[in-house]
A = this chain, B = another copy of it.
Amino acid sequence: MKLDVIRIAQAIFTVKDLAASKEFYVDLLGMNVLHEQGDALYLRGVEDREWTLKLEQCKGSEEARVRHLGYRVRDEQTLDALVNLAETQGLPHRWEEELDRPRMLRLQDPFGIPVAFYHDVKTYPWLLQEYHQHRGPGLQRVDHCNVRVPDVKATMDWYMDELGFRLSEYTVDEQDQWWAAWIQRRGGVHDFALTNGAGPCLHHWAYWMPDALSIIKTCDILAGARQPERIERGPGRHGVSNAFFLYIRDPDGHRIELYTSDYITVDPDFVPIKWLRDDPRRQTLWGAKTPRSWFEEASPMEAFEGGVQQPKEGKLTGIPAHVI
């Protein structure tokens, strides 16, 4: 049974105050509201033909979390193959139905990450060329997710061996142990990145931007709104991926990356790029140090049976040297 994952495609976050989140994502970042229903908001970028980020009001006093990360797959057979995989490996799984996604398989991977897969989806006309309707910096399309996990190598191996992901870049520490990995299905640098640390926790969720100036504009907009504290890191250029980037935090602390201008990885003999953890050019090509919060804070993930996954400590200790 052939299993063909197309790309990272959606995430669901819970938030403590949906109105505050709406102000952040819609009024400031300019994301498009595809649906607004009861206590949920379905958002997308201007190139997205479907919703790619759903925000749900937290129930009661629950802490904000990530309900799942979702991948689009090529066909229904892939879903069947995934069920088979889940059964074989004893992974918790169930069918769920979501708005615009009539048949979605949710499973918990062997590392505790809640993952959803779907093929069938209701699409909508994109807004890419409806430039008069763009607002704010113009987030374009979902690009990738990054998860903090206790064992980067084991997690990466599973995604590569079972789901066919390919490695584009990776980071090792001084003992040549895997600190981080960037893996992809779509021919870009990554759909999914893994970083060593307590987890599983979502490190960040990323949107592709039209250009570096739209990222700079995001900073200006947040500063104009007197919310400069939402800017956590950047703008800058990554050593890994070569992308121009910015990390911002939403009102619940969920971390969003705005990202543009990496490279393609379609060649069959593409050689993954190796970085040393403490190379000053790795995190930011310009040598800029990373704030400690970037390593220490991440969003909890929902456990399969409800509640939040209790993070396990990272296999490697310490954080990179270029930190402030």
Q: Interface digits, A113-137 against B, CB 8 Å rule (1 contact, 0 not)?
A: 0000001010100001111111000
- Contact yes or no, A244 B216, CB < 8 A: yes
Residues of B within 8 A of A128 (CB): 242, 263
CB A27 to nearest CB in B, in angstroms, measures: 8
Distance A186 CA – B239 CA, assembled complex (angstroms) = 24
- Contact yes or no, A237 B219, CB < 8 A: yes
- Contact yes or no, B220 A285, CB < 8 A: yes
Contact partner of A6 among B27, B186, B267, CB < 8 A? B267
- Contact yes or no, B133 A6, CB < 8 A: no
Contact partner of A235 among B210, B235, B266, CB < 8 A? B235
- Contact yes or no, A133 B224, CB < 8 A: yes
- Does A255 sit at the interface, judged by CB under 8 A? no
This chain: how many copies in the complex?
Answer: 4
Distance A56 CA – B173 CA, assembled complex (angstroms) = 44
Residues of B within 8 A of A225 (CB): 131-132
- Contact yes or no, A219 B286, CB < 8 A: yes
- Does A26 sit at the interface, judged by CB under 8 A? no
User: What are 19 A-B pairs with beta-carbon distances under 8 A?
Assistant: A7-B266, A28-B132, A75-B268, A131-B217, A131-B220, A131-B224, A131-B225, A132-B224, A186-B264, A187-B187, A212-B213, A219-B285, A223-B281, A223-B285, A226-B281, A228-B286, A229-B287, A231-B286, A231-B287
